[in-house]
Amino acid sequence: MSLATERLPESAIGRAAGLLRAGALVAFPTETVYGLGADARQARAVARIFEAKGRPRFNPLISHFPDAEAAFAEVLADERARAVAARFWPGPLTLVLPRAPGSRIDALTGAGQPTLAVRVPAHPLARALLRAAGVPVAAPSANRSGAVSPTTAAHVLDGLSGRIEAVLDGGACAVGVESTVLDLSGPQPRLLRQGGVPEAAQAALIGGLGRPGAVAEGAALPAPGMMRSHYAPGLPVRLEARAVAPGEALLAFGPPLPGAGAVWQLSESGDTVEAASRLFAGLRWLDEEGARRGLSGIAAMPVPDEGLGAAINDRLARAAAPRGS
């Protein structure tokens, strides 16, 4: 069944909140990317997120809240979690914590695991929507599963028009890569996903961060965004490009390499913050423009790991991974 997807202006927060409470799917902006929201308490609404995205059921969702108090009502937060939240919330950081015994969040949101991923976004429109809705909102990125994440309402409509009830248009997202995911469910903090909060800033607060171990094929993932092939355009992506091959488009960082069939500049000045904000829009544009021009792939110039560079390189590695992995 195809739906008539509404494109709502910022003034329509009440309409968007009512749709969420009624079990509808509403995309909305955060400071990272657009999220595809549903009432995290309603099993059917959460299941519809997976259906709309074509998302594997073992990939968990992040629940969004207007403030830390609301988030910590659903999870067990220790001193580390409260210290990190005080420093980085509202902001692009997701915490994975043990589910509280009285949590209202549906099991499918957490992929049936004893932990939940929670976040307080910084985008003022997102927080206003969460306050108006009055419910925890499960929200992965508002795109088809595995595709490039959306940073504008138009991107959302390109992939999900007819599959969701509405998108709340708040303009372009500022950060442009998803939130950092920090697992504090055990004694050793683990960085599960690079993102909008650099690793060094977290480590300065709570010490060294571990990494996740291997996950068995088909098993539940500990956090969103951990599938090897993810954020992938249709054209193949080649990393660490020092030259452009015939028929390639170029994802440039700094002075562009010559000879590309199409060029998207992440940051002429080499600014990783600017590059992060332009990454997904660039992959999407190069994919569409490259296909239109008959190009065979996308060459991505090297990006240093400093600042948000690590998050950018994580996304590029997933975009370049073999499909289905």
Contact 98, 76 (CB under 8 A): yes
| Per-residue model confidence as pLDDT tens digits over 303-324 | 998 877 887 888 798 889 876 5
Tokens describing residue 306: 């400093």
| Per-residue model confidence as pLDDT tens digits over 108-159 | 788 778 899 999 999 999 999 999 999 999 999 999 987 888 999 999 999 9
Q: pTM for the full model?
A: 0.78
The closest alpha carbon to 35, from 136, 223, 178, belongs to 178
pLDDT grade for 218, boundaries at 50, 70 and 90: very low
DSSP assignment string, 248-282: EEEEESSSPPTT-SSEEES-TT--HHHHHHHHHHH
